[in-house]
Amino acid sequence: MGLASPKILVLGVGNVLLKDEGLGVHLVRRLEASYAFSENVELMDGGTLGLRLLDPISQADHVIVIDAIQKGEAPGTVHRISAEDLSKKVTFKNSIHQLDLVETLAYAEVLGQRPSCIIMGMEPLDIEPWGITLTAPVAANLKQLETLVLEEIQKAGGSWLPRFLEVNQKGEVTDYVFGDSGGDPRDP
């Protein structure tokens, strides 16, 4: 009897109406559109649900949270924070949703169901209302963050394949083609 694959939750959080504050949700949507994941990987738009995320978090073995992270560095700087580091630094707010996340992890621990957790994110440039697009430095580094999140999924025991649209001569999408992690399988 083999070991079950760990359940991995990739959780994008933030408010998409506040420009860069929604980068976690934007990245989860991008991952859903661009990749097919192994059955043990779940992608979720956590928006601003806060403690209401306790149930999906406590059901996972490993959680990768994607969020805007403020550490006073240049906009677009990519950050990786472990849950343990997040708990130690609660006196200054790194992640815009840090307190909700720390509380949610604490409740999961009380229930005896706290998963391992890391927070991946990026330094925002603008989180003022209102706007649904990312600023230029954040949009420019989204691919870098995507690559690092995919690496974290793989480290945690998940896998993924890129999706490619197959288009007929009329320009109509006819199918999705899945390649391996090494690139476009249609390349010679």
Mean pLDDT for 109-116 is 90
Higher pLDDT, 150 or 102: 150
What is the predicted pLDDT for the residue at 180?
55
What is the predicted pLDDT for the residue at 188?
36
Taking only the tens place, the pLDDT of each residue in 72-83 is: 999 999 999 987
Percent of the chain with pLDDT over 90: 59
Taking only the tens place, the pLDDT of each residue in 8-58 is: 999 999 999 999 999 999 999 999 999 999 999 999 999 888 788 899 999
Residue 48, C-beta contacts closer than 8 angstroms, at least 6 positions apart: 13, 14, 15, 97
69 forms bridges with which residues in the sheet?
95
Amino acid in the structure at residue 150: L
What is the predicted pLDDT for the residue at 88?
58
27 vs 78: CA distance, rounded Å? 13
Find tokens 């924070």 and name the residue: 81
- Among candidate residues 106, 96, 113, the one with its CA nearest the CA of residue 51: 106
Find tokens 């925002």 and name the residue: 124
